Structure 1
Amino acid sequence: MSTLLVIPARYASSRYPGKALVPLTGATGAKKTLIQRSWDAARQVSGIDRVVVATDDARIRDMAQGFGAEVVMTSDTCENGTERCAEAHDALGARFDIVVNLQGDAPLTPPWFVEALVAELEAHPTAEVATPVLRTNGRALAGFLEDRRAGRVGATTAVFGIEKQALYFSKEVIPHVTENFPPDADTPVFHHVGVYAYRPSALAAYPRWQAGPLERLEGLEQLRFLERERPVLCVEVDARGRQFWELNNPEDVSRIETMLAEMGIE
């Protein structure tokens, strides 16, 4: 099956404008922009036929082309990364069997997260959308709760049924927990990793649907599928000891730089 990986990136982020061009210092002191580090992460994924950056901003286009990325220009009316992926897929002839959305603010995404999504769609022909979830340990959960107490919008969490179909995604920490967990102990809270794999039919339908009240309240694009009662398959992945975080707020820059240093990523 042919697979397209799209990195949607925009300049006018509501929470952190211009974050795609923010420099992040790696383990050796080298600085690379967020979009370049996301491109580097995408290039590590096996089984991908084509990788493109999709943007509506000339500054991001110029930066991406400068480090060798292929860029597809999309309109400034795209409401989110899924709509931008749909437009990019159309611009490339809508000829791929699977489209992956590796969002441009997740440079620490391990390649096997993406590979697991593609494998699940290949193994389940009726599945339309797949996204990874990562069981948190006590340390990660404490970080989520601290972000919420501080009023920061941090990680997204997910709950799903016994067949792994998503029930809900939220920027709040769900399910509600009152227990204190040791740092390395598993918890019942799953971190939703903002990566998606779509069948072209589901991706093409998405921009035609109006955003529903839950999507607008939470600011989570994947809720549009759930509000239309289209199933989203949650694929549990294993971090294999690797740290993971997304760049949502300015405070996340130092956190990600620390992780890059600890993992020895240049």
Structure 2
Amino acid sequence: MAADTIIIIPARYASSRYPGKPLVGLRGAGGESASLIERSWRAARAVAGVDAVYVATDDDRIADAAHGFGAEVVMTDAACANGTERCADALARLGIAPRVVVNLQGDAPLTPAWFVSALIAAMKAGAEVATPVLRLTPETHARFLEDRRAGRVGGTTAVMTAQGQALYFSKEVLPYTGRLYSGAEQVPAFHHVGVYAYTPQALAAYMQAGACDLENLEGLEQLRFLYNGLPVTCVEVEAQGREFWELNNPEDVARIEAVLHREGIL
């Protein structure tokens, strides 16, 4: 039977900000250390209604580690410039055409299953590309600003229309408000969660378009869709008490491990 929905986890070793990041160990609530790529794979496996999960990489060290914990691996071209290109390459090598392709980036082990389920639902309702956004809390907003003041790239923010169509994504904290928030105040900014869902046709259009100035300047692959007039649907999701954080910098290891311990994630 043909696959309807698959998850691909793109992973590369040569990160400019954090080389070897996929193999960094993260200690869970039970004291067990598991690599970032394994924890991301576990997060993908927790999503209901997915036919297959693949780790897509060009590095033998990552491939060996992934095989070691039981993942299916697709070896991809080292020339892939980003995770979306790696997903497109992996799909071509697999020789399949699922209805929905989910890109769960290999630095997001705290991605809740319901974030991905919401994307899959949006795709089956007719979206061509979908990605989740999470309203910033006053604490997270302050942390984003702190990272930028310290010269660190923290989370990405999303700006969208009233209908939920993306206008722009940035590593700056947008929209600019010039203030901090506290208590029960609603922060008018959204964290873009690094997960995407695409149709195979949208992936093909992305590859045909080629890299654009905006994606190169910001270092954000999804800007290629917007630059070329391809709509991206932002799906607002709820944290449901779960703190979401990606592993962007070495400082994030302690943040993620704290969440693993607090949530009882082994």
Residue 203 of structure 1 is matched in structure 2 by 203
Offset of residue 21 of structure 1: 0.3
Contact 2:6 2:51 in 1 (8 A): yes
Residue 42 of structure 1 is matched in structure 2 by 44
- The code of the aligned residue for 1:261 comes to H
Question: 1:212 & 1:13 partners in 2: Cα distance?
Answer: 20
Contact 1:131 1:194 in 2 (8 A): yes
Q: 3-state DSSP class of the match of 2:7? A: strand
One of 88, 107, 110 as aligned partner of 1:108: 110
Offset of residue 146 of structure 1: 0.4
Contact 1:94 1:200 in 2 (8 A): no
- Output the TM-score relative to the length of structure 1: 0.97
Runs of 4+ in 1 over 4 A off after TM superposition: none
Unaligned runs of 5+ in 1: none
Residue 70 of structure 2 is matched in structure 1 by 68
Q: Deviations over 1:174-226 (max 9, x none)?
A: 00112331155320010000000001101122122221111111000000000
Contact 1:139 1:184 in 2 (8 A): no
Contact 1:20 1:104 in 2 (8 A): yes
Question: 2:25 & 2:183 partners in 1: Cα distance?
Answer: 30
Question: 2:186 & 2:248 partners in 1: Cα distance?
Answer: 24
Offset of residue 6 of structure 1: 0.2
Is 2:137 the counterpart of 1:128?
Answer: no
Q: 3-state DSSP class of the match of 2:188? A: strand
Number of residues of Structure 1 aligned to a counterpart in Structure 2: 264
Greater mean deviation of Cα atoms: 250-259 or 106-115: 250-259
- The code of the aligned residue for 2:225 comes to F
Q: Deviations over 1:62-114 (max 9, x none)?
A: 00000000000001000000000001111111321110000000000000000
Residue 171 of structure 2 is matched in structure 1 by 171
Question: 2:76 & 2:47 partners in 1: Cα distance?
Answer: 24
Percent identity between the two aligned chains? 64
One of 27, 52, 55 as aligned partner of 2:54: 52
- The code of the aligned residue for 1:58 comes to D
Residue 261 of structure 1 is matched in structure 2 by 261
- Output the TM-score relative to the length of structure 2: 0.97
Q: Deviations over 1:133-173 (max 9, x none)?
A: 00011011000000001000000000000111100000000
What's the C-alpha RMSD, in Å, of the aligned pairs? 1.0
Is 2:12 the counterpart of 1:4?
Answer: no
Residue 233 of structure 1 is matched in structure 2 by 233
- The code of the aligned residue for 1:142 comes to A
Question: 2:40 & 2:183 partners in 1: Cα distance?
Answer: 28
Q: 3-state DSSP class of the match of 2:187? A: strand
Question: 1:101 & 1:185 partners in 2: Cα distance?
Answer: 33
